[in-house]
Amino acid sequence: RGWPRISPKTLAGLLQGDFDHKGFSGWTILDARWKAEYDAGHIRNAVHARTNAEVIDALWDKNGQPLRDNKHLVIIHCEFSQERGPNLMKAITDYRDNYGSSEDYPIMYVLDGGYRAFWHHAQAVDSTQILCDGQYKKEDALTQDELEAAHQERIDRDPAKHRELEKRTRLRRSATPDADRPPPPAFGPPLGAAAVAEQMGVHPVRFKSISPANSSPDQQDDRNAARENKKAEGAKKPTSRPALRPAAGAAAAAAAPSERA
C-alpha cells in the first residue's frame, strides 16, 4: 500500500517553522526504529514507538476519541521507511478504520527515506544540532545484546502478528511427518576406497592376466614366431651408414681438364 510521503527537506522546514502559516495545530513524529537506534540519535522531539498499543494510546483515549484535532500532523518513520515505519502506519490506520472515524488524523505521512535520509539532509544543510538529538546509528551496527533486545521489541510491538508467524511455522513443520524428513548426515572416520565401493554396491571387475604358464600351446607358438620374425627383420637392416656419393656436377668438374692448363 502506498502511503503519503513527506520529504526530509519538507519535514526540516516544518520543524523550523516554514509552514506555520498553513494553520497546523501541531505534529507528532513517531520513530519506529529499535530503542538502541533511537537512543543513539533521533529527530528532535520525536517519540519512540515502542509498541503499537502505546502509539494508539498516545493518539486515542480509552473511549476511542482522538487526543488531537484533525489539523494535527502525524509523521512516521524508521531507518529507511520501508518496513517498520509502514507497518506502524498500517496499525494506526487499521485502528482508525475499525474503531475511530475517518476524520481522526487525516494528515499522516511516512518520512521518505527514513531517518537515514533525514540525517544526511541535516548534514548537508549543516543543521544536525538543530534538527536532531544525537547521531545516526545503523541497525547493522547494533551489538549482539542490542539485537537480542530488538528481537524482543519486535515481539512486543505486535504480539498478534508474532503469534500468527509462530502458528504458520508450526503448521509448516507439522505438514512434514518425521518419517519423510531426510535423516541428518552422519559424520564418522573417512572410509577407504574399498569400503566406499562396498557401501555403494560397486564391485570392481578383475581381469585375468595372460601369462605363458596359463596360455595354450598354439598361443605360445604364435608368440615365438612373432619374436623370430622381428629378429629376422632387424638382421636385414644395414648396420652402417652408406657413403655419400658426390654430386654429378662436382664429378664432371673434377674429370674435365682445366682451361687454364
Just list the catalytic residues. Answer: 78
Q: Which of 109, 146, 86, 136 is nearest to 24 (CA)?
A: 109
Q: What distance in Å separates the CA atoms of residue 17 and residue 44, rounded to the nearest whole number?
A: 14
Query: From start to end of the chain, where are the E strands?
Result: 5-6, 26-31, 41-43, 47-48, 72-77, 108-111, 132-134
Q: Which of 63, 159, 48, 43 is nearest to 104 (CA)?
A: 63
In the structure grid, which three cell numbers stand for residue 238, read together?
644395414
Q: Which residues of 184-204 are buried (b: 16+ CB within 10 A; e: fewer)?
A: eeeeeeeeeeeeeeeeeeeee
In the structure grid, which three cell numbers stand for residue 191, read together?
572410509
Query: What residue type is 161 in one-letter code?
Result: K
Q: What distance in Å separates the CA atoms of residue 128 and residue 120, rounded to the nearest whole number?
A: 9
Q: What distance in Å separates the CA atoms of residue 153 and residue 134, rounded to the nearest whole number?
A: 22
